[in-house]
Structure 1
Amino acid sequence: MAFVDLGGLRCHVQRLGPQDAGPPAATVVLLHGLLTDSLASYYFTLAPALAAAGAEVLMYDQRGHGRSERPPTGYRLEHFVDDLEALLDRLELTGPLQLLGNSFGGTVAFALAARRPAQVAAILAIESEPATAAWAVKLDDILRRAETELVKKSTLAWVAAKRGPHTARLARSAGRLLAETALAREIPASRLPGEAELRAIGCPVLTVYGTRSDLAAQAAWLDGLLPDCRSVFVPGQEHSVLVEAPDVVRELALSWLREQGAELRGRPAVLGAAR
C-alpha cells in the first residue's frame, strides 16, 4: 500500500509491474467509478491479468473513495481530472498511456484525453460516457436519489437481501460519502467540455456496454461523435459489467491493448468475442 500527496490530498495508490519483471509492454491506468467503487474492483478483476501479460498497471482510489482522503468539498469532474494529472506528474508517467475507466472513471478518462491529448494513447471505457449536459442532468437525479435512499435502513436491508451483505456494506459506505461531502451537488455542477473538445479526442476508443444497460443506447451517438470509436456489447449484462462479467472484460482489455501495439505476453484474445 502506498500514499501520494497530490497537493494536499492524500491519495491511496497501487502499482503492479510486469509479473515476469521484463520491460513494460504498456502502461495502463485504471480509473474506478463513483460511490460504491474503488481500486479494489480492479485489484480482483483486471489488474493481475494485465500485470501477468507484461503491462505496468497504475490504480488509485479517487478522492473520497476507498483509502484516499475524503475532503468535504472538491468533487467537480475537473477536480478528479486535476488529481489524475497531479498523480501522473508526481510519478513521472508522461505517456503514452492506456486509460481504462469504469463508469465515472471513463468520464475522467475522456476529460483527461480532451485536456492532455498527447499523453493518452487509447481509452477503453466500460459502461461510461463523456460529460455532457445530459450526463449532468442524469447524475444530478441519480446522486440526489442516492443521497436520500442510502441512509434508510429499509433500503440497506433490501440491498442486503437482494445483492448480499458485501454490496450492502458498499451501499452504506456510499451513503456516508454522500452525507459527509458535497459530491451530490458538485458533480452535476462540473465544467462540461464542449462538443468541439469531445470531437477532438482523436485517440482510439473502445466502449463496452451490457446489452441490458441504459447506456447501450448511446453507443451509436458516441461512435459518431468521436473520430475513432467503436462499441462492444456484453449479452445479458447491465451496468455492473466489470464485476459481473470480469472474464469477458479481461479478454476484451487484453485484446484491445494488443490492437494498440502492446506486445503482451501470453495467449492472444480475440476482440469482438462479446458481440
Structure 2
Amino acid sequence: MDDVTAGAQRSLMTSFDPDQQSPSTELEEAENQLKIEIEEQWLKLNKLQAKLNQEKKIGKINNPECTMSQISEAKEKRLQAEIDANIKTSPSLLSTNSEVIEAVLLSDLQTCVEQLKQTLSVVKTQRRELVEETERERRLLKQHKEVKASIEEKIEVEQKIPEKSHDSELKNLEKMKKRGIEKQKNLMKNLGQFAKQHFPMPNIPDSKRKRHLSGKTVDDDEDELFQLFEILEVLMNKSTGEDKHDPYVQVTSNFWPPYVELLLRCGIARRHPEDSNRIALTSYHM
C-alpha cells in the first residue's frame, strides 16, 4: 500500500508540473498509473491468499477428522481453566477510594430500604384483610352457635312434652276447625239475610226464582234471576272449589245487571281482562 501511495504522489506532482502537458492529459495519465499500481497490488494479494490456502491447518479442532466429542472436551478444558483462574484470583474492589465505596453502599442500602417499605405495606394490607375476614367468621360462628342453641332448646322442650299433650293439641285443632265451620255457616246465614233485606229482587214471584244454593240447581228455568246472595255464593264456590286456577264465572241472563254492576263498583268482583262477560270474586289478603 506504500507503493500505491508513493505512485499516487508522483502522479500528482507531475500533474502540477508547469513544464508538462495540459492538465486534462496529465490527470488521465495519473489515473492510468493508479489503476496499474492497484492491479499490481491486487495480484500480490491473490498470490498471498493462494499460499495461505495451500498451507496445512494446525490444531485438532481445525482438523476435519475431529469429532464432536473432542470439541466438547476442548471446551470443557477451557471452561475448567477459567474456573480455576477465577478461584485463584482474589476479588478486587471497583475502587480503592473510601468515599466512592461509601456512596455505592449507601445507594444499595437505600434501595433495600425502599423494597422493604413496599413489602411492609403489602404485609400490612394483607394483615388488615385477614383481621376483617376473621371478624366476619367470628360473627358467623356466633350466629350459628345461637341458632344451634335455639334448636337444641326446642328439641329438649319437645322431648319433655308427653304424647298425651300432642293428642290434646290435635283435639284442640279439631275443635277449632268445627268452630270455624260453624262460624262460617252463621256468617253465610247473616249475609243471606242482609242481602235479602237490603237488596231485594225486582217484582218477580219468589216461586219462579232460580236458586243455586251450595252449587245445586233447584229450578232450570233460564229466564229466572239470581238474588244478590246467590250471585255471591256462586262466585265464592267457584273461587274456593276445585277450579281455583280459573275463578271466573260466565255472566248469563240469570245475573241481574244492576247487581253485577254493584259488585264491580264496590270492588267485590272483577271482570276478566280479556272477556268482559266473565267475572270473579276479588282476592282479599288479610
Structure number with higher helix proportion: 2
Q: Could you tell me the TM-score, scaled by structure 1's length? A: 0.19
Query: Larger Cα Rg: Structure 1 or Structure 2?
Result: 2
Identify which of structures 1 and 2 has the higher relative contact order when contacts are C-alpha pairs closer than 8 Å and 6+ apart: 1
